[in-house]
Structure 1
């Protein structure tokens, strides 16, 4: 048990060290100079499929952008709700906003990638800012991201918006985004190397330089993917282009899901392009399970007289401190900190379920569409 507790301590130390380095490296982008940006327009591009319940505040926030000239384009992806009417109503009040219709989905494409591809073809800006329909931009976000791209020489810049979680199910699932990004991606190394394996972004908020986007193949290069946050920056890096991350909590907010069932389905859809592969998942189970799920179990065992309580307590304290630092830095709900071991256990259960469950003819379903699973 002592060796097991020592292993847990070392596995908890890894994300603690990486999180410390990443929180130092990941700073909010500097505020852009006042006044219109002389370097060109940012096209804010929003794919929308049955998003009438989400889209109103998203459009208002995008049109309130300051510090840079913007155009806002919404792609209606065959919605059956009031999405087109809602956009038309907003467009009647702001000529910078327009609605385009997405053609029928071609074979081999997933819906969001196709909608983003159509949006990019319609955009006139030097920078393209792709945002999901549930993302509310802060007024200076578009200008700040464009300024960060120029300052860092990056063709793609992304950040994780502040994640709003209203239900227990959301609080048990959504915080894994920032834990994985800040606890396990070496951001300083990512900035030095162009290795595609180090590419990372948050698909909710991605700014690209338009010329570089087209040179890299854009969303057409990842047309079959359900995980644009991973695959798009890797496509840029394969084309020899730099990608970067910034602290995004001050740039936008997003409520991805409203209940545990939605979160489970949402994270399951792209699991096969993330952790849930036969080679990767055993490694991630060791890293995440050993560093975050095992420590509280070892504390209970030590309290029952088996094992070293100081080592077990140290690994648990380190794991919770890492989670607390990430939670506070990203402005997530602090009530989620003590739920952390359960959050990680649920994430691993979701990934193993995605890997092992029988898949009907190998398909994945999202937004009413069915795709071959990767």
Structure 2
């Protein structure tokens, strides 16, 4: 038991130390008075009538850089296109793009993004999800950072809005995995593809680099462009970078537990849920963030020696401290801290469920009314 407790402490310390380094390294981009060039803000939308107007208004309120806003109506059935057309009557910077029928071998979002990019006129392409609300300075700040850093792709995780227990149990895993396990200083110095990362909710790409590499067309079968797009660009010799996105945008990505489970399941195979990776991730995450509390409970009930109790408690407290630091840095709800062990357990359950379903050849992933193979590509 003492050996297990010591192992748990070591596994908890790894992301805690890395989180401290990453939080110090990951800064919001400075916002200059003006940024050069034209930024095309590209919004793929499929049945987003409830939220698309607010998303567009926030994008049109961008300051410090010339913009155009293109919304791709991906065969919506709820009046999304009509809302965009009505708003476009009052602002010439807004255009509606009719996304062609989905072609074979493409996933829906990549297909819509490619159609938007083809119609865009900007020097930089800012892809945002339809549930992302941009801050007024976001487009200018990202564009200026890309110019200063020389990165062809710049991304950040928006402030995640969570309004239900189901969201609190799932969404916080995004920032924890990013800040706890990606060495951001090394990512900036190395061209290694395994260090490539982006958040598909908020991605700015140089139009020149995008078109030179094939853009979303080069990753057309992917369900996780936050992983595959930066890897593709790095493979072609371009630099990618991450910035703190909390002050740049906000996003409520899922409404409730069922939607979050389905959403995280659809791209699991391009993240953790592979036969090689998931056992390793299970050791890292379960061992450092769930096991300490189980060991502590067993040690207290069984009256085990104090070294076991103290070591397990130390591991648990280190785990919560790392979660607290990330919660503070990312502006997430304080409830994510005590819920952290359950969040990690839920994340692993989603990944293992996705892997098992793919291995058994069960039903394909369904998202936005479309079905995709359980293991794309």
| TM-score in terms of structure 2 length | 0.97
* Aligned match for 1:75, one of 72, 90, 98: 72
Q: 2:357–2:363: 8 Å Cα contact kept in structure 1?
A: no
- Who is 1:26 aligned against? 26
- Who is 1:100 aligned against? 97
* Aligned match for 1:194, one of 179, 182, 191: 191
Matched, 1:183 2:184: no
Count of paired positions = 371
Report the alpha carbon displacement of residue 328 of structure 1 after superposing the two structures with TM.
Answer: 0.6
Q: 2:159–2:251: 8 Å Cα contact kept in structure 1?
A: yes
Report the alpha carbon displacement of residue 300 of structure 1 after superposing the two structures with TM.
Answer: 1.0
Alpha-carbon distance in 1 for matches of 2:232, 2:255: 31
- Who is 2:367 aligned against? 366
Question: Mapping of 1:125-274 within 5 angstroms?
Answer: 125-274=122-271
- More deviation, 306-315/149-158: 306-315
Alpha-carbon distance in 1 for matches of 2:363, 2:270: 14
Q: 2:157–2:202: 8 Å Cα contact kept in structure 1?
A: yes
Q: Secondary structure at the match of 1:207?
A: strand
Q: Secondary structure at the match of 1:75?
A: strand
- What does the per-residue CA deviation read over 1:122-163, in whole Å, with 9 as the maximum and x for residues that have no partner? 001100000000000000000000011011110000000000
Alpha-carbon distance in 1 for matches of 2:167, 2:29: 28
- What does the per-residue CA deviation read over 1:13-34, in whole Å, with 9 as the maximum and x for residues that have no partner? 10001101100110000012x2
Q: Secondary structure at the match of 2:295?
A: helix
Alpha-carbon distance in 1 for matches of 2:234, 2:363: 29
Unaligned residue ranges in structure 1 (runs of 5+): none
Alpha-carbon distance in 1 for matches of 2:326, 2:287: 19
Matched, 1:352 2:352: yes
| TM-score in terms of structure 1 length | 0.97
- Who is 2:7 aligned against? 7
Q: Secondary structure at the match of 1:47?
A: strand
* Aligned match for 2:109, one of 95, 105, 112: 112
Matched, 1:276 2:273: yes
Alpha-carbon distance in 2 for matches of 1:303, 1:256: 40
Report the alpha carbon displacement of residue 361 of structure 1 after superposing the two structures with TM.
Answer: 6.0
Alpha-carbon distance in 1 for matches of 2:212, 2:136: 29
Q: CA RMSD in A?
A: 1.0
Question: Mapping of 1:17-56 within 5 angstroms?
Answer: 17-32=17-32, 34-35=33-34, 37=35, 39-56=36-53
Report the alpha carbon displacement of residue 262 of structure 1 after superposing the two structures with TM.
Answer: 0.3
Alpha-carbon distance in 2 for matches of 1:282, 1:341: 18
Alpha-carbon distance in 2 for matches of 1:160, 1:93: 31
- Who is 2:57 aligned against? 60
- More deviation, 294-303/217-226: 294-303
Q: Secondary structure at the match of 1:52?
A: coil
Report the alpha carbon displacement of residue 82 of structure 1 after superposing the two structures with TM.
Answer: 1.0
- What does the per-residue CA deviation read over 1:87-116, in whole Å, with 9 as the maximum and x for residues that have no partner? 011111111001010111111000100100
Alpha-carbon distance in 2 for matches of 1:27, 1:51: 31
Alpha-carbon distance in 2 for matches of 1:205, 1:90: 22
